[in-house]
């Protein structure tokens, strides 16, 4: 069974970010259905947000996949959650931009935005979401084939 190019791109991003998360002492989780537990923190979360389609060019379709990465950290004796989450996001960002075409799967990568969210729960937690747009092209008749 063929997978869509979109799924191949998401899996390539996961494969790219997994060693980064491990090196930062974090957990990488794709589309977690529930909140991140204290034991899973720090964590790098990856959420596919949207996949927009541009007007058709002959038998090719250009698409823009938007992924949201969220670096989550809780306060520890070793540092503030904002600093831990920021370091994780910096490493993930650098890894993404070191491979902007994801091994030929896409045409390019663009950073969209970043925001900060600090919550005071059982321990101070910080979440820094960043959004990225990945441009890729498929055949109009087959979303599993690079166009």
Q: Would you state the pLDDT for residue 121?
A: 53
Q: What is the pLDDT of residues 52-111, one digit of tens each?
A: 998 777 889 999 999 999 999 988 777 888 899 999 999 999 999 998 899 999 999 999
The full set of domain ranges for the chain reads: 5-146
Share of the chain above pLDDT 90, in %: 67
Does the predicted model carry a pTM greater than 0.85?
Answer: yes
Structurally, at CATH architecture level, domain 5-146 sits in 2-Layer Sandwich (3.30)
Q: What is the pLDDT of residues 107-125, one digit of tens each?
A: 999 999 776 655 555 568 8
Distance CA 125, CA 35 (A): 12
Q: Distances from the Cα of 33 to the Cαs of 29, 118, 127, in angstroms? A: 10, 20, 16
């Amino acid at each position: 069974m063929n997978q869509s190019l979109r799924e191949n791109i998401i899996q390539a991003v996961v494969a790219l970010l997994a060693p980064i998360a491990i090196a930062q002492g974090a957990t990488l989780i794709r589309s977690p259905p529930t909140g991140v537990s204290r034991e899973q923190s720090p964590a790098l979360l990856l959420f596919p947000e949207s996949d927009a389609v541009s007007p058709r060019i002959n038998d090719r379709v250009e698409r823009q996949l938007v992924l949201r990465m969220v670096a989550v950290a809780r306060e520890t004796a070793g540092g503030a959650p904002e600093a831990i989450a920021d370091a994780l996001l910096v490493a993930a960002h650098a890894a993404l931009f070191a491979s902007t075409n994801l091994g030929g799967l896409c045409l390019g990568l663009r950073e969209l935005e970043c925001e900060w969210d600090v919550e005071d729960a059982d321990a101070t937690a910080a979440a820094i979401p960043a959004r990225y747009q990945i441009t890729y092209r498929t055949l109009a008749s087959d979303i599993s084939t690079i166009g």
